Structure 1
């Protein structure tokens, strides 16, 4: 597909991109240098709404020790570590990262899932009250558009793991009222709703009977159904039940990671497209590249053993230097080009109407590819897509139009059903 696009770009040498000049102005794509392409990519990132389907900042704040009695992690300023903060978001053109209200699977067994969800929602809300000139909540596309015009970063929320629903369908409406606009049905283990891609027990053989009712109630309430993390059987069951399009908020193409059920197989991507849904590409190295995935497992085991032998922690300067050198030599990171390969593959399967960005920033640790290490680097991906012949209009679909379409369809269905 990418070669077809390259030939097409040679046959159609004029790529029209708005650069703040007269709308009739055009740029001859075939004459652009690397620096000019990057300038175009930055301009597009800054002047187009950009949505990311999954950023794990709330749990990063929890792990960092935030409580209501302590100072919140100051992501209004550039932070050390992590992948997200306001300055870097501004540099990268990110306007609406879905804040992941992440519930580890252990809370399904030990209890407390709903309480943890509430605390993470409260942390997200506090970002907007602490820095109201920088952050604002958003419950739908119209609010994101309004915040974009006001120069604020929107913080829509999605809940990763349906465990906080517990065994009570009324909690779906409760979390809608709290601002949740998608729910990832499972996480690392099977739960009351259905089976997980990471589990091997196949508790329900797909959706449970309760899970069927959960999907129906999410449709009725206006919460998008997120099929990232579910087993293949659960995925197909969801498509049988849902009356509206569904999303994969942070998954990639299994074509590049054979056997990795957490990603989506080609047939699943085609079914998702028939449903009208969107797959939002995960940037994590283990999601985008099989060689890195296999090498990462081996490198992780070596590093754990090396740290133990040398009585060091990952935070020690000596350890950080060793880890960086070891990984570079033994398991080099994939590049931004590999992420673009996933776009090419999926576009070849189903066209450009079913793709978005779902980075998993702050959630995939130190596995991110070169050129996409944090939220400041989205223009690198956009530049790569421009090089491959994607138009401004197609990139706008990836940035926000595709996910807005699904979001609006889900909201419209809920309104008609009420």
Structure 2
């Protein structure tokens, strides 16, 4: 159990919520009550997708202290009540990462980085490999860092590599990313040679079940999703996806039928906070920009002419940020389809650039989400399920049968 935050300290954090980003719309504040701030410090908050490792690989900075960039640092995490951000061990999709040893080496390097980060402050953080280790870390006042692998390409066609990454602490694997790979077809890729899971992918699912690694179906094609449900003997997760109902035609999100099937199977959808995942207006922003360039007769998007035109277009067409209310709408929708036990949070902090919604701009913002859930009639028990309880259930089920 976390140490409760005093209401005096909670009052202090009101000024911090949503004010840690350099985006222009952060002046908008959410009237967060002391009750929600205190609850954020008392309950376990687990976020299943934070892209800190990839961010630090590109531009390393000391996240043990406040940072002026990015969505995560330890002080902001503590102010928001975050206990367990899954560190995303992300391997970009592409031919250069499908070659032997390249993908595996990339993933090992990112795990090394997180281990080195923890070694700098072992009194503040701990890599955790089970739910019980997570609870122990929280009890000791540490930030628990479970590891999730985004993109299964580091398996490199060798089931022994699953054991290797399990031993290194990986506790979920997102089967594919933006391109189809040797495990599964991707929702973003027009080329889908497997028509779902590959034969090797089916073996990967069975081995993940045996070892106790959660299967993550975010990023895979609809066909691959249904193949996974046919093969797996354990509940699966969508670590950072939202509801396609609000973004028609965006296959990266989950359809109503998929969310229902996931819930019936015992799985959980963890809602992504990126604006393009939340509203049709934000989802269409990129295509509208590309259409504008095409209509202007510009063929080279990297040319000086294109850059100048796009900058002016952005001034005339500001990015339509989603809001906290949109995130709550997705949660409501998923609960209506699959029940309160099938929904959690997978923010994609540090992974969706500057597209985060008003009210949820960084890891200090979870009290805003709690406030919104309570305002919509969710009980404290319901909120605890969304913030970590549903993850706990699935993780324990996957561990128990391993």
Change (3 A) 1:80 1:201: same
The residue number in structure 2 matching 1:326 is 315
Tell me by how many angstroms 1:109 deviates: 3.4
The residue number in structure 1 matching 2:236 is 246
How far apart are the structure 2 equivalents of 1:263 and 1:395? Answer: 23
Q: Is the 8 A contact 2:30 2:359 kept in 1?
A: no
How far apart are the structure 1 equivalents of 2:165 and 2:200? Answer: 17
Change (3 A) 1:164 1:310: closer
1:336 to 324, 330, 341: 324
Change (3 A) 1:373 1:308: farther
How far apart are the structure 2 equivalents of 1:108 and 1:284? Answer: 25
2:55 to 57, 60, 71: 60
1:88 and 2:76 correspond: yes
Q: Is the 8 A contact 1:227 1:248 kept in 2?
A: yes
The residue number in structure 2 matching 1:177 is 167
1:153 to 137, 143, 154: 143
Change (3 A) 1:301 1:381: farther
Q: Is the 8 A contact 2:70 2:350 kept in 1?
A: yes
1:199 and 2:205 correspond: no
The residue number in structure 2 matching 1:360 is 348
The residue number in structure 2 matching 1:42 is 37
1:377 to 365, 368, 374: 365
How far apart are the structure 1 equivalents of 2:106 and 2:248? Answer: 34
C-alpha offsets along residues 342-398 of structure 1, whole Å, 9 cap, x if unaligned? 011111112100111100001010111111111111111111111100010000001
Q: Is the 8 A contact 1:108 1:191 kept in 2?
A: no
How far apart are the structure 2 equivalents of 1:398 and 1:344? Answer: 11
Q: Which runs of 5+ in 1 are unaligned?
A: 1-17, 22-33, 67-72
Q: Is the 8 A contact 1:45 1:93 kept in 2?
A: yes
What TM-score, normalized to structure 2?
Answer: 0.87
C-alpha offsets along residues 30-51 of structure 1, whole Å, 9 cap, x if unaligned? xxxx998522211111111100
How far apart are the structure 1 equivalents of 2:86 and 2:380? Answer: 23
The residue number in structure 2 matching 1:105 is 93
How far apart are the structure 2 equivalents of 1:150 and 1:142? Answer: 12
Q: Over aligned residue pairs, what C-alpha RMSD do you find?
A: 2.4
Q: Which runs of 5+ in 2 are unaligned?
A: 8-28, 294-299
C-alpha offsets along residues 270-292 of structure 1, whole Å, 9 cap, x if unaligned? 11011100000000000010111
1:208 to 177, 189, 198: 198
2:273 to 243, 259, 283: 283
How far apart are the structure 1 equivalents of 2:197 and 2:58? Answer: 31
SS at 2:334 equivalent: helix
Q: Is the 8 A contact 1:94 1:375 kept in 2?
A: yes
How far apart are the structure 1 equivalents of 2:287 and 2:144? Answer: 36
The residue number in structure 2 matching 1:11 is none
2:388 to 371, 378, 400: 400
Tell me by how many angstroms 1:334 deviates: 1.3
2:119 to 120, 123, 129: 129
How far apart are the structure 2 equivalents of 1:352 and 1:200? Answer: 34
Tell me by how many angstroms 1:19 deviates: 8.9
How far apart are the structure 2 equivalents of 1:310 and 1:342? Answer: 35
How far apart are the structure 2 equivalents of 1:45 and 1:248? Answer: 23
Tell me by how many angstroms 1:145 deviates: 1.0
What TM-score, normalized to structure 1?
Answer: 0.83
Tell me by how many angstroms 1:310 deviates: 9.4
Q: Is the 8 A contact 1:296 1:331 kept in 2?
A: no
Q: Which moved more, 1:299-308 or 1:284-293?
A: 299-308
How far apart are the structure 1 equivalents of 2:33 and 2:199? Answer: 50
How far apart are the structure 1 equivalents of 2:53 and 2:99? Answer: 21
The residue number in structure 2 matching 1:26 is none
C-alpha offsets along residues 85-138 of structure 1, whole Å, 9 cap, x if unaligned? 001101111110000000001244344000000000000111110111221111
Q: Is the 8 A contact 1:299 1:331 kept in 2?
A: no
Matched pairs, number:
369
How far apart are the structure 2 equivalents of 1:301 and 1:381? Answer: 35
